[in-house]
């Protein structure tokens, strides 16, 4: 059974048109992460939530925002996607941030 | 800032042989976890093995084992009896899920 679910699997958006990616979890984990992964590169941490506490990485562009309305769901909002934002976006959860994470299958974002 | 170094961008191994992937890191923490993750071509990241830094004994999971040298901040992954399904990107992640650049492992028949 899928424990971290990302929707959609594939998303095509227009240059400059806001887009939202979603992640849900059935694990009741406290921590949820968003990563950006470009082709042949390591995942780059954008931000994470510990419960309701939002933690932004210093080099995450302002164009990227996140919401976590409850324990189960977390959203990644890209306010004005550029061509450089085309990537795989990975969501992950962890019980408390010190133990292993569980990943979703990712959403591949294409910007046209 | 935490640094993670995986010095082998690509490796290949013959099926049934053994291969070791290296990882070094820097941290100011004393107690922490270290992880190796695998990302097959299907792209879902999965945990391979976990090591707790306060444990001296190296972690083992079936064909996967680590060589953890805390003082040297080294955390290598050994895959024994390599299988075709081991073909994947392998990422080292010492605490807080900051990943190394990865090693692309290809297992050849």
pLDDT in tens, A83-96: 999 999 999 999 98
| pLDDT score, position B96 | 64
Would you tell me how many other CB atoms lie within 10 Å of the CB of residue B83? Answer: 11
CA distance B99 to chain A (A): 6
Any CB–CB contact under 8 A between A64 and chain B?
no
Q: How far apart are CA B89 and CA A41, in angstroms?
A: 10
Question: Which residue in the block uniquely carries the two structure tokens 């299988």?
Answer: B83
Residue A101 neighbours by CB under 8 Å, 6+ apart: A31, A33, A92, A93, A94, B35, B47, B97
d(CA B49, CA B26): 19
- Taking an 8 Å cut-off on Cβ atoms, the answer to whether B91 and A103 are in contact is no
Closest-CA residue to A25 (of A37, A34, A38): A34
Q: Distance between CA A56 and CA A68 in Å, rounded?
A: 13
pLDDT for B41 equals 86
Fold for B3-95, please state it. Immunoglobulin-like (2.60.40)
Instruction: For residues B102 and B36, give the distance between their C-alpha atoms in angstroms, rounded to a whole number.
Output: 10
Positive/negative CA dihedral, A60, B100, B45, A72: negative
CA distance B90 to B13: 14
Q: What is the mean pLDDT of chain A?
A: 94
pLDDT of residue B56: 84
Segments making up each domain of chain A, as ranges: 4-104
pLDDT greater than 90 at residue A97: no
Q: Which CATH superfamily is domain A4-104 in?
A: Immunoglobulins (2.60.40.10)
Torsions phi, psi for A87 (to 5 deg): -175, 175
**In angstroms, rounded to a whole number, what is the distance separating the alpha carbons of residues A81 and B53?**
40
Of A1-10, A65-74, B4-13, B27-36, the poorest mean pLDDT is in B27-36
* pLDDT value at A40 more than 80: yes
Chain A interface mutation, best of B8, B32, B97, highest count of A Cβ atoms under 10 Å: B97
């Amino acid at each position: 059974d899928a424990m971290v679910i990302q929707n959609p699997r594939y998303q095509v958006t227009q240059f400059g048109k806001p887009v939202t990616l979603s992640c849900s979890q059935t694990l009741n984990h406290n921590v949820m992460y968003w990563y950006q992964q470009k082709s042949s590169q390591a995942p780059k941490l954008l931000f994470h939530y510990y419960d309701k506490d939002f933690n932004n990485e210093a080099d995450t562009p302002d164009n990227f925002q996140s919401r976590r309305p409850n324990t189960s769901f977390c959203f990644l909002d890209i306010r004005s996607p550029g061509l450089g934002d085309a990537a795989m976006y990975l969501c992950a959860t962890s019980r408390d941030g010190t133990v292993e994470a569980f990943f979703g299958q990712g959403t591949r974002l294409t910007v046209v | 800032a935490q640094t993670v170094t995986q010095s082998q961008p690509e490796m290949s191994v013959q099926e049934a042989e053994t291969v070791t992937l290296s990882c070094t890191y820097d941290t100011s923490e004393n107690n922490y976890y270290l992880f190796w993750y695998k990302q097959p071509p299907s792209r879902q990241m999965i945990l391979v093995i976990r090591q707790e830094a306060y444990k001296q004994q190296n972690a083992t999971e079936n064909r996967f084992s680590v060589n953890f040298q805390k003082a040297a901040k080294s955390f290598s992954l050994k895959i024994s009896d390599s299988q075709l399904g081991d073909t994947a990107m392998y990422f080292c992640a010492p605490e807080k899920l900051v990943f190394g650049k990865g090693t692309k492992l290809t297992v050849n028949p």
